[in-house]
Structure 1
Amino acid sequence: MTDKKLIHIIDDEDSVRRSVGYMLKTSGYGVEPWSSGIGFLKSVPSAEEGCILLDIRMPEIDGLEVQRILAERGVTMPIIIMTGHGDVSVAVQAMKAGAVDFLEKPFEKAVLIDAIERAFDRIHSDQDMVARAARADIIIGALTTREREVLDGLAQGLPNKTIAYDLGISSRTVEVHRANLMTKLHVHSLSDALRIAFAAGMGTRA
């Protein structure tokens, strides 16, 4: 048992486990590497509480399935998704299912640490969801109708081209609206924008 905050790294690539593990150890965290989702699921009843860094693309069982099974078993450890494929739709699914954040490989150390600290904040202090939703509604109120439509499309996991087709505008125009809405929301990443959108109840259509 250690006083260090523990991170469970679940990734089938040894190089990722080693590099991310080193990054975390040198930042003062405890690290427990796992080479498969199945291995972690088998050991989770006795696993020490911590934060889970979970890769999406793994053989046998992928990250989304691991996340689903953990939720079914009542495991409440916060999850941060890792993807090397820039798959926005998958990342959206993971965040809707409760992931704290998603990180695209390769990611910078500062981005990783920020996500992990937010994950541990979730453990130690449950935020008032009603207050979060109210704040999100106020923030999103600053967007134009078209910007809200683009954000809602992103929250549904749709690519720019599909959003453009649905709204009858060009992909370039979607990119402009996307850049503008992120500026108005004062966010620098899609995951931050999605958190606000989800808190406001966006992205719920089938």
Structure 2
Amino acid sequence: MLSIECAFDQCCRVEKDEADLPRVRDAIAACVDPAGDGRYSVEYRVIGRDDGVLRHIATSGRTSFERGRATAFIGAAVDVSEQRRNEAAVRSSEAQFRGFAENSSNLLWIVDPAVGEIIYRSAAFERIWGISCDEAPATLEVWMEHVHTDDRVAVARALEAVKAGEVTQYEYRIVRPADGGVRWLRDTSFPIRDDHGAIMRIGGIAEDLTQEDSRQVYIVSARPSEARHLARLVRATDYRVRIFESAGAFLDIAPVLAPGCVLVDLRKARDEGLSIPRELKARSIALPAIALDEPEASAASAVTAMKAGAIDYLLFDEEALLRQRLAAALAECHPTTGSPTRDQEVGAQIGRLTSREREVLVGLIDGGTNKVIAQALGISPRTVELHRAQVMSKLGAGSLTELGQIALAAGLSPSKAGAKVRKPT
């Protein structure tokens, strides 16, 4: 007579995905352990022996014990492959939507009309409204208080039409809660229906029609007190100011910020600060950067900042002198306009690569093989090969030589470490 363990082995002899085998074995060992409750519940993937098809199987059951020994088991196995495929498709669709929404200069929003709750707004909200998404109105009722009084009736009618199933386009003004500024918006709103045709959500795309004022300065500083001090100096030159506490926080929403320039404080987080002009250049974001450094900084520091892409370099010296030099630098600091050059277009393409794809691109520029890049990034050579194909496809490169030329045109170059390990061809 087979033991419970052997019986499980016979029942589960379908070719399981190797990544799931340890979990299945652990679940089997646990359910036949007299010290446990005998319950068995695990989901795993199997590869059909005859058709090679990958399937998701959900199993559950319970073991019976006599005198401290497993004697019987009853359970069931259900094929949940279609359900898992549907869930993966939904996740992929949501990821694509968020990727589009978070990088759009227009504001995308979604509302639950049953309770009037605003359940989603994209990153452009912060630029248009002048406050963070965390501070934003949570309901339509509160949101309506910030619509210009002369436009509220028309906006309310438009939203009622959307709730009734119509697609509407309307223009209106909002009064920004932070500074009282008035902005003109054009909104295209539409109903979102479920599988039965019932309206479960309403959504919209709001375009900011306001003529932008380029007298905007973004301060990036890891020192809150110094950031506030800099903000006072900048406001004295009649510029508007917005403060970011880290390079990451700034770069996350840089693509949707209003035209202006960036004041980067290098005194506490130098490497992080220098990443700002580099990233702005690599992603073709037209926000000129001014670097600010310690009074005793060396000439080499200035050269490094300018090579990184800063258009000016100032020392945090005597306040009167700093105010004078800052005003002069800001007066010369204008966002670039006009049609993008070929180099800018390439930079924008590289800016749209994922972080992993950019890491692989840098590895290729350094002359690394798939194996060398895989070891450096802690991934498999096969994964590197897939990312490499994606990079070449996105950048329109037909060969590694052409890929290198494209990268150089965008301002990327081999690192010193890469130059040392490159093999001669």
TM-score range, shorter chain: 0.5 to 0.7
Q: Which residue of 1 aligns with 2:234?
A: 24
- Is 1:87 matched up with 2:298? yes
Larger CA deviation: 61-70 vs 41-50? 61-70
How far apart are residue 92 of structure 1 and its match?
A: 0.6
Instruction: Report the alpha carbon displacement of residue 58 of structure 1 after superposing the two structures with TM.
Output: 4.1
Confirm or deny that 1:50 pairs with 2:50. no
- SS in structure 2 of the partner of residue 28 of structure 1: coil
Q: Read off the aligned partner of 2:302 and give its amino acid letter.
A: A
| 1:33 CA drift (Å) | 0.7
Cα separation, 2, equivalents of 1:11 and 1:90? 17
Aligned partner of 1:33 in structure 2 is 243
Aligned length in residues: 125
Instruction: List runs of 5+ in structure 1 lacking aligned partners.
Output: 126-205
| Structure 1 residue 123, shift from structure 2 partner | 3.6
Structure 1 residues 82, 46: CA separation in 2 closer, same or farther (over 3 Å shift)?
Answer: same
Q: TM-score, normalised by structure 1?
A: 0.54
Contact 2:292 2:316 in 1 (8 A): yes
Identity of aligned residues (%): 27
| 1:48 to partner: Cα distance | 1.4
Equivalent residue for 1:74, pick from 268, 279, 284: 284
Relative to 1, partners in 2 of residues 1:98 and 1:60: Cα closer, same or farther, differing over 3 Å? closer
- Matching of residue 116 in structure 1 with residue 330 in structure 2: yes
In structure 2, the residue matched to 1:201 is: none
Distance 1:113 1:60 in 2: 23
Structure 1 residues 5 and 70: CA distance shift in structure 2, 3 A:
same
Q: 1 or 2, which has the higher helix percentage?
A: 1
Unaligned segments of structure 2, at least 5 residues: 1-127, 129-211, 339-415, 417-425
Q: Is the contact made by 1:36 and 1:58 (CA closer than 8 Å) also made in structure 2?
A: no
SS in 1 for 2:332: helix
Match of 2:308 in 1: 97
Any idea what SS the aligned residue of 2:229 has?
helix
More strand by share: 2
Q: Partner letter of residue 310 of structure 2?
A: A
Q: Distance in 2 between matches of 1:124 and 1:70?
A: 15
Instruction: Give the SS at the match of 1:77.
Output: coil
* Matched position secondary structure for 1:119: coil
Q: How far off is 1:21 after superposition? A: 0.6
Q: Which has the higher contact order (CA 8 A, sep 6+)?
A: 1
Confirm or deny: 8 A CA contact 1:37 1:61 kept in the other structure.
Answer: no
The Cα shift of 1:64 comes to 1.4
What pairs up with 1:1-206 in 2 under 5 angstroms?
3=213, 5-59=215-269, 62-84=272-294, 85-106=296-317, 107=319, 108-120=322-334, 123=336
Superposition TM-score, scaled by structure 2 size: 0.27
CA distance in 2, matches of 1:95, 1:60: 13
Bigger radius of gyration among the two: 2
